[in-house]
A and B are shown apart, each in its own frame.
Chain A
């Protein structure tokens, strides 16, 4: 256990040092969520005048929950890119040779992904509050909201790690991103689910991202709804992703 923690701490520190000292890694991870937030909350705010929109917190809060979910997922997934980059550079092999506990590598990257998400979410939250976001939920509601985001971050990171351990190249980047992108955008991103129709409504009805968004939007206005369904979905997903990442690690260990 001590070995695992030592490895995790070293891996997390190295990744965070790289992430916050290399501008080409740092700037996109901060800029993209802010641009999405500006583009959606700023550019599409007229959508709340559609008959039947009916979200009490205003369009900024409505979009904030999506951007929170998206940032958590993408920060987690992008941190897994570093695993693939380490394999390409040959560093991951050397790391696996010296690490007394290789599970610590997975945990270390997951910790780093979480810290990166916390930093980015803090900045987005500050921008959202400065731009007049209304928060109706209390401390317990916000704890629920950010807990959901944290679990999404871990699950997305483990998904990316599993892919990185299997493909061991950055060329797998689109394969890592596309499923997350599709799951997120096939949820009620711009309007409440009742205003969706056609094929996207059919998918949104069974999409776990819908459950998380609806619960998160309930939390931010202080009227939680569907929280059990959302937590069940993300916890199940995270459990599956733990197995996916660890099996990927074993596969990488067994590959010369």
Chain B
């Protein structure tokens, strides 16, 4: 298959996926509103955490602004999975398997739709954060890097969501992966820097948890400025998620097509 043909197929499926996502406000609304509500509540409740000796920020809002971006990635994985599971349940995937559509185009198309919601959400988080007084130490370029890292993480999570959908084949089963994502999200350095976590097992889990590195990479441009190590870890983790997610989704699609 030529690259031009692949690009055409990706464009067609991405367009369908994006149009479908924006026609369903019920998919868009929670991924924008819920992380912002959580940010407001956590910033209010944990504001005094800046009084902890060695806390790395003067404002908890600056420290916490990366969290909605990560929550947005979590919602992206759910949206991608739900959308693909819906296609499987409605027989769209079976009909598509009768056409010369490339498998790569199918997965990239779904991931793009979910990422479109994710990027709109990311723009809203950034706007809300700046309106509430977030100071980005790395400046405008830092904001761009923050959104770029968030987009890469969303692509990785969307690919994982697609993998779950292709393996399970039902929207209900995709919903059941939410607790797993939720655990990964909570047992990270989301609310406290790793070196300030007192409980040993929690610090160990947070250190092994890739979500910590994504959050710390995003956080670094806000509270530190240009921290090459944190950014390298963040982008490497996101890129690894994308590669692993796409490879797993591709394998799962091959198996599903064989069964169809």
Residue among A27, A28, A32, A188 making CB contact with B45, cutoff 8 Å: A188
Known: A28-B179, A31-B179, A38-B187. A46 touches B198 (CB 8 A): yes
**Does residue A186 face the partner (Cβ distance < 8 Å to B)?**
yes
Q: Which residue of B lies closest to A51 (CB)?
A: B51
**Does residue B22 face the partner (Cβ distance < 8 Å to A)?**
no
A196 contacts B45, CB within 8 Å?
A: yes
Bound state CA distance, A186 and B45, in angstroms?
Answer: 8
A43 contacts B199, CB within 8 Å?
A: yes
B183 contacts A47, CB within 8 Å?
A: no
Say which one of B69-77, B98-106, B150-158, B189-197 lies at the interface with A: B189-197
Give chain A interface residues in 24-71, CB to chain B under 8 Å: 24, 27-28, 31-32, 35-36, 38-39, 41-47, 49-51
List chain B residues, Cβ under 8 A from A38: 186-187, 202
Q: Which residue of A lies closest to B189 (CB)?
A: A43
Closest Cβ–Cβ distance, residue A24 to chain B (whole Å): 5
- The total of Cβ contacts below 8 Å across the A-B interface reads 91
Known: A47-B49, A185-B45, A186-B41. A35 touches B199 (CB 8 A): no
**Does residue A198 face the partner (Cβ distance < 8 Å to B)?**
yes
Q: Contact flags (1/0) for B21-48 with A, using CB distance below 8 Å?
A: 0000010001000000100010011111
Residue among B44, B182, B192, B197 making CB contact with A35, cutoff 8 Å: B182
Kindly state the interface size class of chain B when it binds its partner. 20 to 34
Bound state CA distance, A32 and B182, in angstroms?
Answer: 8
Closest Cβ–Cβ distance, residue A206 to chain B (whole Å): 15
**Does residue B58 face the partner (Cβ distance < 8 Å to A)?**
no
B47 contacts A31, CB within 8 Å?
A: no
Bound state CA distance, A182 and B44, in angstroms?
Answer: 12
Bound state CA distance, A50 and B55, in angstroms?
Answer: 11
Task: Give 28 pairs: A residue, B residue, CB < 8 Å, sorted on A.
Answer: A27-B176, A32-B179, A35-B187, A36-B186, A38-B186, A38-B187, A38-B202, A42-B202, A43-B190, A43-B191, A44-B49, A45-B199, A46-B52, A46-B192, A46-B198, A47-B48, A47-B52, A171-B26, A174-B30, A185-B45, A186-B41, A189-B45, A190-B46, A191-B45, A196-B47, A197-B47, A198-B44, A200-B44
Q: Which residue of B lies closest to A48 (CB)?
A: B198
**Does residue A195 face the partner (Cβ distance < 8 Å to B)?**
yes
B186 contacts A39, CB within 8 Å?
A: yes
Closest Cβ–Cβ distance, residue A33 to chain B (whole Å): 11
Q: Which residues of B contact A (CB under 8 A)?
A: 26, 30, 37, 41, 44-49, 51-53, 172, 176, 178-179, 182-183, 186-187, 190-192, 196-199, 201-202, 206
Bound state CA distance, A171 and B52, in angstroms?
Answer: 42
List chain A residues, Cβ under 8 A from B45: 185, 188-191, 196, 200
Bound state CA distance, A46 and B45, in angstroms?
Answer: 15
List chain B residues, Cβ under 8 A from A191: 45-46, 48
List chain A residues, Cβ under 8 A from B30: 174
List chain A residues, Cβ under 8 A from B199: 41-43, 45
Known: A185-B45, A189-B45, A196-B45. A35 touches B183 (CB 8 A): yes
Closest Cβ–Cβ distance, residue A153 to chain B (whole Å): 21
